[in-house]
Structure 1
């Protein structure tokens, strides 16, 4: 693929549940995302099945007259099915040990494998300008796969929303944060 993949983190939401909606601020951010992509060519939009991801990109979908394709591989990562009071430190450990897995959860490697499988598929397609909408942790794992130096500290700096462009030209991959919101 000699095109661009835009990896988008969803806008501010009311919670972490799959059905969590965007906050008032999140709705404004979704409008800003629409404006942001207004002059960018887009051939395809693929989103997490979570409502906050779909609602974040609906304005772009309408403006570009493109259907939002839902792909379960973009869903939020479950760190554990147990309520972890120290979830933050546990999440940090999963960046150091990508195979570390907590009860009922997914390791960083497992979550990375699922988003990378989608990323590898879209890179082989004819579509040259693709938006992928997901969640902060899953997004950061794709960025870590593409750019090994992407770390937990970089995850901490992600915003809601956020946009990175991954561009492949002549077998070289460039990763750039392009959201300035």
Structure 2
């Protein structure tokens, strides 16, 4: 599927230029942390956070799951490095790129739009820049990464990408702003 976009009072764009890998392992293990840091060059994220360096993102999903996102052009090199670094350790490393979709929301009111669709506290004190949270968008599971104050990434299963895209387009349509 090619990237698609919609301009409302917030811009919605699908980003298909990313590969995603899931790493299931004991994330408290210093050996696992060192191997991932060595292979990616990215600091290991704390609970509920993402760490980013040179296009590679590490997102804390749960005590035993890390989501690794990287531009498609860097994916094979990163995967090869991760496999080598993690060799001999008890882990599951899988390419989940075909199973996930990513959307970028940008604009001054991204928190408002997120608050319309996700049952989570979107206030900057509770969800600061760098935060990553698994949540729901209306009827489907997903995750959100607060990359910048005016830029968020939305991740969902590819099987519901059309629903999620339409959902966010409706939420940002001109005239749907929250009036105070």
Q: Same fold (TM over 0.5)?
A: no
- Rg (Cα) greater in structure: 2
Q: TM-score range by the shorter chain?
A: under 0.3
Structure richer in strand, relative to its length = 2
Structure richer in helix, relative to its length = 1
TM-score (norm 2): 0.26
Instruction: With a CA cutoff of 8 Å and minimum separation of 6, indicate the structure with the bigger relative contact order.
Output: 1
